[in-house]
Structure 1
């Protein structure tokens, strides 16, 4: 279950080496699902983007939080029920696929509300939807992401708008996206798989979501998580595996072994000295990340505070 932004691509461009790594994973017999909290684009549009980047994918192997939200609504509503959409095309298509009718006027007498990110959302639509939420209509949010990547950097995401509506209405939505279970369950329902592995770059959505759902996870260091975030990750935010990039899908993952006051792996030795993580030796970049993470986590669990990592530079 691969996250997209920060894992497969960053904005319009592929993460270096990602397409080749995914092609190798497919050749090795892995089934790949592309799972995104972004509800603005329908799966076919996302799949077209991936294919343009050299990633072989079927439309049905892209699963969005809009689809998970539509499933939650369909489970509660009668077929043909009207749902007010605080969002855009991604939610519209997902609702139609579930036999529901998306609308954006209160004159249509909607019986529920769905909200998701849309860059062109009008404030009038937000206002009418918020009034319906305050009136008590069943409300599902696609996700609660605080930020969304844009061409000019990260901007406010769907979670910012949901919080505004919730503050006005005095109630909270049912949430479909990561780190909660519905999106992962929707992915298994649509794509299948015997031993799911969640692959992501964010601790508070991808990795926390895997832990919430009882799934293994792989953190790749190509997106938003850096050394400070990794070193300060509490147990619920820690991945099963760590690698520098998606090549980690096709390699064995060594386990750091205790060594003195720290850990060692693959030629690297790490320890915490005067509150700072220090690393010596040489080896692979992946093993460097693993030994640093294990050493920092032991320090955090022992002292209650994160170790300093600002002086560290990953090899390569």
Structure 2
């Protein structure tokens, strides 16, 4: 019998929004799954692109949700963005901050001086998510960036942010406004770039990391970029149809409905493993993938159907699916996939 997935790793680089919590509520099965993972030697390290809160604030929120965490267990993109700036600019240099106080605090922590106006002669602009960012903030950054010698670092470029009201504009949408206004492109600290993951591994003193996230275009792309295995959970932004259409740079190595897959061998699939027990077959018929087989509607069987479809979709370039038989049809319906 295969050992639990978590036993292969010594640190879990966990996304937050859509993976651990959503809309201010912890996602089911997360607290007990992470507690057991830690007990088995895989340290949870929360790596987030969100730049609006400090590590201590995030740790407090997690602890209040039943996921015990200290500030040292949380790594934010502002921390990494500030470190990138400190590596290239002298201590005491002014940095124009577009974002929340947590981002300004991160800049101060590395010996740089946060400012809010272009007239303060900043050597760089650093930009992170804040729900209070407005036109005047972007205008100050635009003025500063007219000087080509002024550096520009974005904490992340997520175009959207998952909330209990659906997807809302993320930092990437604000970054895109400045890209359009200035014609410049920032250096990026957060996912899908690898600095955030590399720092998480270094901080944990780990050598066998697993990236865990819900978004193909940030979490899983970062895993591929960093050469790390990635577990996609279906609790947030990206869904089954997105998985079938995933480009090579965004493809996870493992798949689970939620974090129970870390511990239950039946609730995780290694997508490349063609020998993984499965009641399903997938054939290519013209421009459609046809799923055939029988199951009793178990979650484990549904997961293996999705993994088999992903393997075939990635190999063939075909993403349209249909069912052969009522059992397969019911599975596709539960997965939110429909045929032509």
TM-score by length of 2: 0.85
Alignment partner, residue 46 of structure 1: 58
Among 167, 172, 177, the residue aligned to 1:154: 167
The answer as to whether partners of 1:272 and 1:307 remain within 8 angstroms in 2 is no
CA distance, structure 2, for counterparts of residue 294 and residue 278 of structure 1: 9
1:50 to partner: Cα distance: 0.4
Aligned in 2, Cα 1:237/1:257: closer, same or farther, shift over 3 Å? closer
Aligned in 2, Cα 1:21/1:84: closer, same or farther, shift over 3 Å? same
Alignment partner, residue 69 of structure 2: 57
1:31 to partner: Cα distance: 0.8
CA distance, structure 2, for counterparts of residue 151 and residue 232 of structure 1: 25
CA distance, structure 2, for counterparts of residue 63 and residue 22 of structure 1: 17
Q: Are 1:313 and 2:327 an aligned pair?
A: no
Alignment partner, residue 93 of structure 1: 105
Aligned in 2, Cα 1:49/1:309: closer, same or farther, shift over 3 Å? farther
What runs of 5+ residues in structure 1 fail to find an aligned partner? Answer: none
The answer as to whether partners of 2:254 and 2:271 remain within 8 angstroms in 1 is no
Alignment partner, residue 132 of structure 1: 144
Aligned in 2, Cα 1:197/1:107: closer, same or farther, shift over 3 Å? same
CA distance, structure 1, for counterparts of residue 245 and residue 223 of structure 2: 18
Alignment partner, residue 183 of structure 1: 196
Alignment partner, residue 268 of structure 1: 279
1:17 to partner: Cα distance: 1.1
TM-score by length of 1: 0.91
1:58 to partner: Cα distance: 1.2
SS at match of 2:57: helix
CA RMSD for the aligned pairs?
2.2
Deviation larger for 185-194 or 164-173: 185-194
1:1-316 correspondence runs (5 A):
1-136=13-148, 137-252=150-265, 265-272=276-283, 274=285, 275-282=288-295, 285-302=299-316, 304-308=317-321, 312-314=332-334
Aligned in 2, Cα 1:287/1:96: closer, same or farther, shift over 3 Å? farther
CA distance, structure 2, for counterparts of residue 28 and residue 67 of structure 1: 28
CA distance, structure 2, for counterparts of residue 244 and residue 175 of structure 1: 30
What runs of 5+ residues in structure 2 fail to find an aligned partner? Answer: 1-12, 324-328, 336-340
SS at match of 2:203: helix
SS at match of 1:266: coil
Aligned in 2, Cα 1:309/1:14: closer, same or farther, shift over 3 Å? farther
Deviations 1:234-287 (A, max 9, x none): 2222111111110111233565799xxxx6743521314641442423375245
CA distance, structure 2, for counterparts of residue 299 and residue 150 of structure 1: 30
The answer as to whether partners of 2:256 and 2:269 remain within 8 angstroms in 1 is no
1:307 to partner: Cα distance: 2.8
CA distance, structure 1, for counterparts of residue 128 and residue 322 of structure 2: 36
Deviation larger for 274-283 or 123-132: 274-283
Aligned in 2, Cα 1:269/1:164: closer, same or farther, shift over 3 Å? same
Deviation larger for 267-276 or 27-36: 267-276
The answer as to whether partners of 1:264 and 1:291 remain within 8 angstroms in 2 is no
The answer as to whether partners of 2:295 and 2:301 remain within 8 angstroms in 1 is no
